[in-house]
Structure 1
Amino acid sequence: MYPVYRPYLSGKEQQYVSECLDSSWISSRGDFIRKFEIQFADFVGVRHATTVCNGTVALHLAMLAIGIGPGDEVIVPTLTYVASANMIVQTGATPVFVDSIESTWQIDPSAVKRAITPRTKAVMVVHLYGASCDMEAICKICTEHGLLLIEDCAEAFGTFYRDKHVGTFGDVSTFSFFGNKTITTGEGGMVVSNNAEVLNKAYHLKTQAVSPSQEYWHDTVGYNYRMTNICAAIGFAQLEQANYVLERKQQLAAWYDRYLVDLPVRRQAEPPRSTHSWWLYSILVSQELRDSLRLHLRNRAVETRPLFPPVHAFPHYECGLEFPVAQCISKSGLSLPSYPDLTESDVQIISSKVREFFEVREGCRTEIADCGLTKLVN
């Protein structure tokens, strides 16, 4: 079976976890917490970083730290994982959905401009599947309109825009270390910022808003969003292998490009002046064929996953609007196995099973042109 993802745990993960056990520092205090934060900030190129227990709470904490709250609107792409919108709501603010760019699947800057109202306080960009958003355009919009910028980098560790790691452009940014992410702590996340005041507030809130000078004194409503030392130990070991894993990701994408080149599929485009980290290698096919292709691959021991449904399609986020690009991408897309241990032979086998599917279907090139994806895939 070729799963969609499998974590790469070939470094010192066991050694460092054993050190935690031997020292008895297994909860949210211990040397690996600070080591992981320092090394992660250095890798990304940001001044400050604080660990949290998962990527979802990282978003919640990040927005609280920059003052997002009731009455505010936050512009966010509808084509994202639901946590992006859920955490906006958790602050008391309102998510305002916008459409995506056809080629890169990222938030559309022109749609962001149209969505700004007097209540807009921030824009949340989501670097989807490891590609970068157009940060030049987004930063310009935020500056011109006095808006805060949040970067959701849950899927974008190792992604660069104009030689800067994503997560370094925003007022605050977040990362996820779930088990299927490029580097993992099992469960975990990180909040980062170049603003010390923002990170100090995030740290204060994540530790139940406890006073630094008086025991068990809490000056506001806080949260227990801390990462354990054991998780941080795994993350620290993962960082030691990060460059190798990212190189493997680039190689996997190149192999898929080679072996799928003449098939009626199109992969996510790399935005200009950016480096795609290829968290997942994802493709578009005809909407009519997507689910059949997934079934075909599943029956041949290749796991896939569909692209995220647009968040506005969920009952609790229904807004009466249509977002045609996001809806089309979602219904047409799937992700192929993308874990670092895959070999060229593995990718060739997986690609051959994709090829097999299309070879038994005459006229598939016409079908893909007729399914409403002409602009997206040609």
Structure 2
Amino acid sequence: MNAVIGFLFFVIPLLASICIAQVFNPLSSYQPLHVIDGAGLYKKELTNGNTAYLQVIDIRKMRIDQVIGEVDNMSYGQGKYYKGEGGHYSPYFRNKLFSQVNDEYKKLYSNDVFSMINCSFFEQYQSSTQLSFPIKFNGVVISGGNSPYGPIKEPKHDFYRTIRLKALVWDEKQAYITDYDPVSGAPLNEKGVKNAIVSYKYSDHPAKVLAQNQVNKYQVIGTLDKDGSKGNEQLLIMTVNQTTLDEAAALLRKLGVKGDIITVDGGRSTYLFNSKMGNIVLPQLSNPQENPTFRHLPHYLGFRKARTQKFVPQILIDQPIGKVQVEQNRPYVILWRDNINGDVSIKLYDRNNKTIQDISTRTASDGVHEWTPQVAVKEGDMIRVASRENQKIFGNLQL
């Protein structure tokens, strides 16, 4: 009898915990739209016609790519948020049409593509723009940011004089959100940090602080630990079409997110694509009488399966609309996109296709290389990024 009672005391709580887990599964109220090994897209209908789209990305099984427009102007000393005001450059990145970026991403990675969203904030709406806050791209801090709404000496609003910006950091094992230090650049200044974006904690976004928490399109991001091991291996991205930032963040809290929640670029720029569902949320067309336009954007995040197939090898570089300015003895950030396995070489050619300089005889095919030319660069010169294994696979950038 004692054995039976002991068995029941063990089994009943176990069954109860299983039932509770089933009843309180936070995803049970979401409709699955596209679920693969490593990622899922879900939909939830909210009140008053509002809709929430949730992406759950397993960092260990997926790859996150930053897709950034090419640089035409480095803007030396204009970076405000990396190692102090004026301590870094703040380039102008080409604004690229969302459909062009999407087509190129699918061209590179084909059926491995899962989704894409827009990412960094920006305040300028010309053919190229500076980013609001720093980003680190495959080991290189490529922008020091340039927003007037942040912890600088003379922000546009006093609230932002002392706010603490946040950094989303990720690698192939985990993602985390932590405080960002604009004086030291931490954590972006750490060698082990390869990819990171700096942004607002959702509650510090100007839409909440200055615009009375207005209803709008937003994208908020949090991280989550699901396996009990050290590190958050899941990235949760919530895209809403008509809610406040508080409501968007609360949705992530209900899914178990306990740490910081950040915002990325939203409003009329909001973009969400999924390979099965197609374009879900599109950047709005601007009124012909109105400026700015919101469909050309400088910075996107693409999500794809860790490589499972071979692709047609390609190296893609787009020509910025403005004149590319490269100055002797000053750094320039070379950006490209590729899907090759091996390393690349980077060379400087003159207008007659004659080699002027080996910029790098071998560097990783990771899409970024910071170059400080030691020779004068003339109009008409050309930078070529080529596969070391097959020099016929290359991309050119005209200067």
TM-score, scaled relative to structure 2:
0.26
> Which structure: greater helix fraction?
1
> Which structure: greater strand fraction?
2
TM-score, scaled relative to structure 1:
0.27
